[in-house]
Amino acid sequence: MADRRTVDELTIEELEQLLLIKRRQARQESLRRLAGQGRLAGQSPMLAEAPKPLASAGSRFHSPNVQPWSGGSSTPSKGGRLRDRLLLGLEITALVGLIAVLVGSYANLQLLNNEVAVAREMPTAVAAAAATPTPLVNFDRLPGGHTSPRSPGGAVPDVPAHLQQWVQPAPLQPVPTPSAALPTRIVIPAIGIDAPIVNGVTWDDLKKGVGHLPGSANPGERGNMYLAAHNDIFGEIFRDLEKLELGDEFTIYSGDQPYRYVVTSKRVIDPTDVSVMYSSTEPIATLQTCYPYLVDTYRLVVVGELAR
């Protein structure tokens, strides 16, 4: 009597044996077909076997020609293991080489990008350097520097001590007579200043009054009229310059001709910042003195524009 159980009622072992029987029968049928077409050389042992029934009630799918599946795996040989290791080593080496190539390519790309950026910025830097104005006089420090009046020996020009014995005072220069061009007098009502202006900004020039940088603009002219004075010695002319506020006015005379300026900026800078001496496309007056009072390690700069 045939086994009438459904597939769901069969065990895994019975299903595996059934599958093996079906595959064997399919191979035998294929070999017979090839032999009938004359395409099979020799005689295959599988052709001599009689086809086995799929199953019967008593057989329970057992067949003497079918071995139950063990589920195990064959152990690779020593040569196979060596080959696998060699292949793994080659793959790792290739991967490391690829990573090295990618890293090197990225580094080269960064280098090329930096070179391109530098090349692009070079024309701009050259143009900026060409457009940067140069000071009228080759100063590396702003005028008026000295030691504090309270220091031993009093106020001394900021000349190295080992060179001070070689510094000779400049011959006395007469105050220039009024003319239609040079500045001769400055009046700042807000801080009570009414002082003469002399031509020059050396140590000895500033003993006589407010110094006018030679070559800088004259009153009313387009450009930067640069004026400097002491704040704690030789009259303390610019003692209260820091009290000026934006919008305050001061007048600079050239002979009897007055020129009125309005304060537009005020700042403290390093003594080496000579950019405040550069020329200007507008008519301005720059007032400079030492800062802070009795210390003089910085410079105070007040800029005024010519009133229209």
DSSP character string of 235-252: T-TTTTGGG--TT-EEEE
Burial class (CB in 10 A: 0-12, 13-18, 19+), 227: buried
Residue 90 DSSP SS3:
helix
Residue 101 in 3-state DSSP?
helix
Contact 296, 146 (CB under 8 A): yes
Q: What is the rounded CA–CA span in Å between residue 127 and residue 5?
A: 97
**Residue 289, token pair as written in the block:** 């003195």
Is 212 tagged catalytic? no
Known catalytic membership, residue 62: no
Instruction: Tell me whether residue 52 is exposed, middle or buried, using C-beta atoms within 10 angstroms of its C-beta: 0 to 12, 13 to 18, 19 or more.
Output: middle
Catalytic residue among 62, 146, 212, 290: 290
Q: Which of 62, 146, 212, 230 is catalytic?
A: 230
Q: Which region, left, alpha or beta, applies to residue 130 given φ > 0 means left and ψ of -120 to 50 means alpha?
A: alpha
Q: Provide the annotated active-site residues.
A: 230, 290
